């Protein structure tokens, strides 16, 4: 009799496991190509495992080989369920693809143009015509670097955009391959012997957004998990790598307007979500008037 009861309990346990697995959704999480693919897998692995554990769902990273491919996939609305983006991409997804904001890094995003110590006190114009390392367009760093010099299209640094990560940009600077490097300011803090030639304005921190087809309860589960992530000591290194102390709830209003940073890049089109065809045509006609 006891053997029969044990078998029944074992069967119930197996059935419960199958039921739990059946109820677990599988979600694709797109992340910017700010790391080579193998490094991205390593950096985000603890975060993916954390989301798997805390939400009961299964998350799979969707990686692009570079920013050109990432921007193409974003414009074409390649099917993904969640994304983790800088402000310009996050707002683009919200305005163009109907994504909803989930959670954001609490700290603002700031980029800095760095140089070796002999540039102390010289400012950003000291590297005009000289090589400056940056991750390729349309990364946020590349866009903000272009904005720094937008008052004179002729007086520009010679941007070297072959860096495969922001740390790679710094390594190019340290190796003497370039005279400057554009990087997130939280990385600059690791190199106090480099000097800051210019700093960008503050933008809202990187954000998780969810596709419109994701169940609202699952979006809320991810939001709660991210907002509690800083309480898990095992995720400390992930936060450090991201230059963050914690996540907080993100609002669409935090990112409104930042997609226009992409306006100068190939393939950009004005957001028409919520705008009627007549209004869109009228605005285009007005834009074409002298």
Question: CA 59 to CA 67: how far, in whole Å?
Answer: 22
Please list the pLDDT of the chain residue by residue as tens digits (290 residues): 455 555 455 444 443 444 445 568 999 999 999 999 999 999 999 999 999 999 999 999 999 999 999 999 999 999 999 999 999 999 999 999 999 999 999 999 999 999 999 999 999 999 999 999 999 999 999 999 999 999 998 999 999 999 999 999 999 999 999 999 999 999 998 999 999 999 999 999 999 999 999 999 999 999 999 999 999 999 999 999 999 999 999 999 999 999 999 999 999 998 876 543 434 444 444 444 44
Question: Where do the structural domains in the chain lie, given as residue ranges?
Answer: 2-108+204-277, 111-199
CA 264, 136, 256, 151 torsion-angle sign: negative
**Model-wide pTM > 0.85:** yes
Cis peptide before 138 (omega within 30 of 0): yes
Domains 2-108+204-277 and 111-199 share a fold: yes
The shares of helix, strand and coil residues in the chain, as percent rounded to the nearest 5, are 45, 20, 35
**Half-sphere exposure in the Cβ direction for 162 (13 Å, CA):** 8
Question: Quick one: tokens of 77?
Answer: 């609305």
Question: Are the C-beta atoms of residues 166 and 183 closer than 8 Å to each other?
Answer: yes
Fold of 111-199: D-Maltodextrin-Binding Protein; domain 2 (3.40.190)
Fold of 2-108+204-277: D-Maltodextrin-Binding Protein; domain 2 (3.40.190)
Antiparallel, parallel or unpaired: β 82-85 and 207-210? antiparallel
């Amino acid at each position: 009799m006891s053997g029969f009861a044990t078998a029944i309990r074992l069967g119930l346990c197996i059935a419960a496991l199958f039921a739990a697995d059946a109820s677990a959704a599988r979600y694709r999480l797109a992340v910017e190509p700010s790391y080579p693919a193998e490094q991205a897998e390593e950096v985000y692995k603890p975060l993916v495992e954390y989301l798997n554990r805390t939400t009961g769902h299964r998350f799979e990273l969707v990686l692009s080989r570079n920013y050109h491919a990432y921007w193409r996939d974003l414009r074409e609305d390649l099917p993904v369920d969640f994304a983790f983006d800088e402000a310009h991409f996050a707002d683009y997804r919200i305005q163009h693809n109907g994504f909803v904001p989930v959670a954001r890094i609490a700290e603002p995003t700031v980029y800095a143009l760095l140089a070796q110590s002999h540039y102390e006190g010289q400012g950003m114009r000291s590297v005009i015509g000289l090589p400056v390392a940056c991750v390729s367009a349309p990364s946020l760093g590349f866009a903000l670097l272009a904005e720094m010099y937008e008052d004179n299209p002729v007086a520009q640094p010679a941007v070297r955009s072959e860096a495969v990560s922001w740390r790679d940009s710094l390594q190019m600077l340290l190796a003497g391959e370039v005279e400057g490097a554009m990087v997130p300011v939280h990385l600059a803090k690791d190199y106090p012997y480099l000097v800051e030639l210019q700093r960008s304005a503050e933008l809202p921190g990187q954000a998780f957004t969810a596709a419109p087809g994701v169940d609202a309860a699952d979006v809320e589960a991810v939001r709660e998990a991210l907002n509690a992530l800083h309480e898990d000591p095992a995720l400390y290194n992930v936060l450090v790598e991201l230059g963050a102390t914690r996540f907080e709830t993100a609002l669409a209003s935090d990112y409104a307007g930042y997609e226009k940073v992409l306006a100068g890049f190939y393939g950009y089109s004005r957001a028409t979500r919520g705008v009627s065809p007549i209004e869109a045509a009228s605005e285009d006609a007005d834009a074409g008037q002298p």
